[in-house]
Structure 1
Amino acid sequence: MGNKIQHSLLGHPRGLSVLFMTEMWERFSYYGMRALLILYLIDHFGLGERSAYLVYGTYTSLVYVTPLIGGVLADRWLGYRKAIQAGAVLVTTGHGLLALDDGLALGGDILFYAALAFIVVGTGFVKANVAAFVGALYDRDDPRREAGFTLYYIGINIGAALGAIVAGWLGQNWGWAYGFGAAGIGMALGFLQFLLGTRHFGGLGEPPRDAGLRRSMIGLSVESWIYIGALAAVALLYVMMRQHGAVEYLLIVAAVAVIIYILWFSITALDGPARRDMAIVTAMIAISVLFWALYEQAGSSLNLFTERQIDRVVLGMTIPASMFQALNSIYIILLAPFFAALWIWLGRRRLEPSTGTKFGLGLIQLGAGFLVLVLGIEVSGDGKVPLIFILLLYLLHTTGELCLVPTGIAAVTRLSAPRLVCFMVGCWAFANAAGSFVAGLIASATAGGEGGMANIAIVYSKIGWMAVAIGLVLILGAGIVRWRGWSSGAEVPAGV
């Protein structure tokens, strides 16, 4: 999709700053809305906990399914630039409809589900392609690559933190429409700065030369049909949002199709080393499903737990529960530079943990966060859980995330076959989709019932110990593989 550009800013390609800001504003919009969604479903629509968790899980899973399609469309036809621009328009439209849904109270839940459908389709165009675009800024073996993704990840979390704080505060104090409206403005700003910054990409991100976007099909260009198809997808997803069971079947069918396609491509188009790299990437993506299933409790069961069970009074003021969704991102902003420097420092001394070890460390810390909260439930008795325990939970979840996620994304873009980079980044997002759907089931297990806080403690204890155990197995397995020298060369061990 063009040639690498040589201009740099602070040691990185200038295009990184444009993509940094684009993703920052897109995540501002997504996480601002996400911080309010479960509370909006219960308080505005009056849904029960289980029903609200089901809607939330359906939405968050679909958000991570559509990047698969968006990645393919960019790889084959649109290129990164056009795909990101189309997605930004759709996402902005969706947030605008959400603001109208509360502000005007039109048509029952019609605007609400239409808004979610626009956001889901738009995110499909944006999410995978911004990440893949970051990877395209660097050569395959560029030592700055992982550090560049860590900086990009900081941009994501600046946007997520600001979104949760601004949209959360406006939504819970001024009205839902103000919170959702702020999210829409954020995406519009991201779109504008992306258009203004395209000169820094050089020839990168343009449609493939053989895309044939202007070729006529039934009186319209191929590009026009793609955009019409996107609107048709909005209509389809509007219907699916109301048929939650259909999403479960969609995920199963999509997972089987993805596995078959990767196997077919690996067997027919790749040689031994490249085939092995694809196997490593596929294994990492499968492991990440468990991580996301537990991590995505943040916006659902943990969000509602914070609203109802955490003592949120600080200096005489009660902090809105939605604003606690910013904690994870704030921690990442503070800690990501340390982790980026740590991996470089260890790498220079040939002490950097392998990807498998980092994945294991990530799961252990994720599980430990839930176990800390269980301890808080036990020591609080019948009263509110002290604030320190939710702060510690998000801290441990953050350090676990910093071990697993940037490393995983960088490895996916580095080890995937060049013709499938966008597709495999979409598969990484699809793992988040599967995990988000499972997360809804886990959240439902904590809902209501006679057990109350005791039931929540049991569920969190089980998933916490499970994550710790699997993390230990991964670390042990990675150590055995490296010790036996199963992988050779400089690149492959880092992907084990």
Structure 2
Amino acid sequence: MDNQIATHDLDNESTDALPLSSSHPKGLYVCFFTEMWERFSFYGLKALLIFYLTEHFLFSDVQATNIFGNYFALVYAFPILGGLLADKYLGSKRAVTFGAVLLCVGHLGMAFEGTPSYYTDNGELVQSQTLPIFYVSLAFIIVGVGFLKPNISGIVGKLYHVNDPRKDAGFTIFYMGINLGAALAAILCGYVGRVYGWPYGFGLAGIGMLFGLIVFLLGQPLLKGHADAPDLINLKKPIVSVFSIEHIIYLTSLVLVGVVALIVGNHQIVAGILGFTLVAISVWLIWFCINEVSSSVKQKLYAAVSLTMMSTVFFLCFLQSGSSMNLFADRVVNRVVFGMEIPAPILQSLNAIFIIILAPIFAYGWKILVQRKREPSTPIKFALGLAQVGLGFYLLVLGIKFADEQGQVALYWLVLAYLLHTSGELFISPIGLSMITKLSAPRIVGLMLGLWFLGSAIAEYIAAWLAGSAAVPSAEVIEGGISNHQQLQTFALLYSDITWIAISGAVATLLISPMLKRWMHDVH
């Protein structure tokens, strides 16, 4: 497999050997549009989910943020499995295609809306006819993302040499496609879901995923074999009766969908799975480093793991956007602009819109800094990203202090916070994906990308726990039994804590950056 990857790199389009000013491989744009539509479906669901849980199923804030956190934690954890199976057996083409099919099924299920749940006075759930369909639909999406997400990113990495100076810019362009889909999703699915009903918003998200699948299948010739299975003969060979390894992987994955449907609503079980997965992958990496790689490769893996830990700190702050910041926007932000009230889910598009605006500027900026040999190292970029997300939450705390007499926060404070979160994200997320492909041993790139997303899974779980600390009883929100000023106080405490977490992470990253740069060797 190592030789095959090396051959792919050498056989890549002639553009691979061209200087910095040259165009990117055409396969980048296949990945760009595939991921754009996949993210359209993903963020279309994200824009609506917290409101669907609190308003359709009438879950309390704590229950809703727990389920929200479980879903997104599992979404970010499953790429470990999808990356490993693609590395060893399926290859990226089959993994992405299978994942896209599962996603289409999941979003179709979300479009079927039934009778919501109801609660007694003591908060006990007494009716839940639609919960099984809801949980099964989420399970299809979770497993589907696990197959698609790490492997579409892995293809982008394989389109470039390890130290190709265009690589960071290529991942930034790819990341802009992600956020183009996210921006369209928050605006279109958020509006349609709130105005015309939940089934239409979720159904529109599913249509987007179908477009992504079509783009990926039609664009295969432009990927130049980078998405092929590592050993097609072995993959197709019958193992049990007429069932090949490929068949067994697909069937087992469908069984896994059923298992996930049973656990996605249980916060404790999800915590146990994340903890077990983290321990298992840590033990495996230790074994790998002891037995199979040189000293320089070991140190590069140490650097990759360290930076993944710092990204986890960043994302446990950043990932408040879909939960507490969505509720913050809905309940205490003055969203009236020119006499019209903006639906809260649409504000989820701010992060993506800012990335669309800023990503080309960042890509060009990295290019200029590379040419002048003044580009900051990856650890410094991570520290700057953490500092910016911390400052963004500090602005929300300031906005709360300057709330009006009705307890309403001016919209521009939220806009400025999203701007800082976005600029911080551009210092970490696309650079992080590129960093993983540079620092990882070639035959475990998919697994290491999975570890990156596991960090995000743990971050999402912690983010949901933090968001729950700002929760108020749903009945009091609905009946007006709690004032905006009381809600502002809980949000202020939460965002103050997150500010300190982010700034502490930034300082810690700066302190260890010299050691990390030594471990990274020839990788900048």
Q: What TM-score results when the alignment is normalised by the length of structure 2? A: 0.90
Task: Please say which of residues 449-458 and 402-411 is displaced more in the overlay.
Answer: 449-458
Given the superposition, is the C-alpha separation of residues 129 and 66 from structure 1 closer, same or farther in structure 2, using an over 3 Å criterion? same
Does structure 1 residue 376 correspond to structure 2 residue 376? Answer: no
Write out aligned runs for 1:288-367 (5 A). Answer: 288-367=311-390
Partner in structure 1 of residue 58 of structure 2? 46
Write out aligned runs for 1:87-236 (5 A). Answer: 87-102=99-114, 107-209=129-231, 212-219=234-241, 220-236=243-259
Partner in structure 1 of residue 505 of structure 2? 470
Deviation at 1:211, TM superposition (A): 6.2
Partner in structure 1 of residue 488 of structure 2? 453
Given the superposition, is the C-alpha separation of residues 179 and 356 from structure 1 closer, same or farther in structure 2, using an over 3 Å criterion? same
Q: Is 2:299–2:520's contact at 8 Å kept on the other side of the alignment?
A: no
| Whole-Å separation in 2 of the counterparts to 1:488 and 1:67 | 24
SS of residue in 1 equivalent to 2:334: coil
Given the superposition, is the C-alpha separation of residues 416 and 486 from structure 1 closer, same or farther in structure 2, using an over 3 Å criterion? closer
Deviation at 1:301, TM superposition (A): 0.5
Given the superposition, is the C-alpha separation of residues 234 and 489 from structure 1 closer, same or farther in structure 2, using an over 3 Å criterion? closer
Deviation at 1:104, TM superposition (A): 11
Deviations 1:396-418 (A, max 9, x none): 00010011111111110011001
Partner in structure 2 of residue 77 of structure 1? 89
Deviation at 1:488, TM superposition (A): 8.0
Q: Is 2:176–2:355's contact at 8 Å kept on the other side of the alignment?
A: yes
Deviation at 1:7, TM superposition (A): 5.9
| Whole-Å separation in 2 of the counterparts to 1:404 and 1:467 | 13
Given the superposition, is the C-alpha separation of residues 150 and 211 from structure 1 closer, same or farther in structure 2, using an over 3 Å criterion? farther
Task: Please say which of residues 459-468 and 74-83 is displaced more in the overlay.
Answer: 459-468
| Whole-Å separation in 2 of the counterparts to 1:436 and 1:489 | 31
SS of residue in 1 equivalent to 2:111: helix
Given the superposition, is the C-alpha separation of residues 20 and 273 from structure 1 closer, same or farther in structure 2, using an over 3 Å criterion? same
Does structure 1 residue 59 correspond to structure 2 residue 71? Answer: yes
Deviations 1:5-58 (A, max 9, x none): 316597111111100000000000000100000000000000110000000000
| Amino acid across the alignment from 1:241 | V
| Whole-Å separation in 2 of the counterparts to 1:80 and 1:346 | 33
Does structure 1 residue 400 correspond to structure 2 residue 424? Answer: yes
Deviation at 1:243, TM superposition (A): 2.5
Task: Please say which of residues 343-352 and 280-289 is displaced more in the overlay.
Answer: 343-352
| Amino acid across the alignment from 1:143 | P
Given the superposition, is the C-alpha separation of residues 76 and 481 from structure 1 closer, same or farther in structure 2, using an over 3 Å criterion? closer
Deviation at 1:350, TM superposition (A): 2.1
For 1:11, which of 14, 20, 23 is the aligned residue?
A: 23
Deviation at 1:210, TM superposition (A): 6.3
Q: Is 1:328–1:394's contact at 8 Å kept on the other side of the alignment?
A: yes
Unaligned runs of 5+ in 2: 17-21, 118-127, 474-481
| Whole-Å separation in 2 of the counterparts to 1:7 and 1:122 | 33
Unaligned runs of 5+ in 1: none
Partner in structure 2 of residue 387 of structure 1? 411
Deviation at 1:218, TM superposition (A): 2.0
| Amino acid across the alignment from 2:213 | F
| Amino acid across the alignment from 1:52 | A
Considering only aligned residues, what root-mean-square deviation do their CA atoms show, in Å? 1.9
Deviation at 1:145, TM superposition (A): 1.0
Does structure 1 residue 411 correspond to structure 2 residue 418? Answer: no
Deviation at 1:217, TM superposition (A): 2.1
| Whole-Å separation in 2 of the counterparts to 1:442 and 1:76 | 37
Deviation at 1:394, TM superposition (A): 0.2
| Whole-Å separation in 2 of the counterparts to 1:80 and 1:221 | 18
Deviation at 1:144, TM superposition (A): 1.1
Q: Is 2:114–2:130's contact at 8 Å kept on the other side of the alignment?
A: no
| Whole-Å separation in 1 of the counterparts to 2:181 and 2:520 | 39
Deviation at 1:242, TM superposition (A): 3.0
Given the superposition, is the C-alpha separation of residues 392 and 225 from structure 1 closer, same or farther in structure 2, using an over 3 Å criterion? same
Deviation at 1:199, TM superposition (A): 1.1
Deviation at 1:462, TM superposition (A): 1.5
Q: Is 1:95–1:184's contact at 8 Å kept on the other side of the alignment?
A: yes
Given the superposition, is the C-alpha separation of residues 221 and 488 from structure 1 closer, same or farther in structure 2, using an over 3 Å criterion? closer
SS of residue in 2 equivalent to 1:217: strand
Deviations 1:81-135 (A, max 9, x none): 0000000000010000000135999942111001000000000010000000100
Partner in structure 2 of residue 423 of structure 1? 447
Partner in structure 1 of residue 457 of structure 2? 433
Q: Is 2:103–2:144's contact at 8 Å kept on the other side of the alignment?
A: yes
Given the superposition, is the C-alpha separation of residues 122 and 42 from structure 1 closer, same or farther in structure 2, using an over 3 Å criterion? same
Q: Is 1:5–1:201's contact at 8 Å kept on the other side of the alignment?
A: no
Q: What TM-score results when the alignment is normalised by the length of structure 1? A: 0.95
Deviations 1:219-238 (A, max 9, x none): 21111111101100100001
Q: Is 1:102–1:177's contact at 8 Å kept on the other side of the alignment?
A: no
| Whole-Å separation in 1 of the counterparts to 2:353 and 2:492 | 26
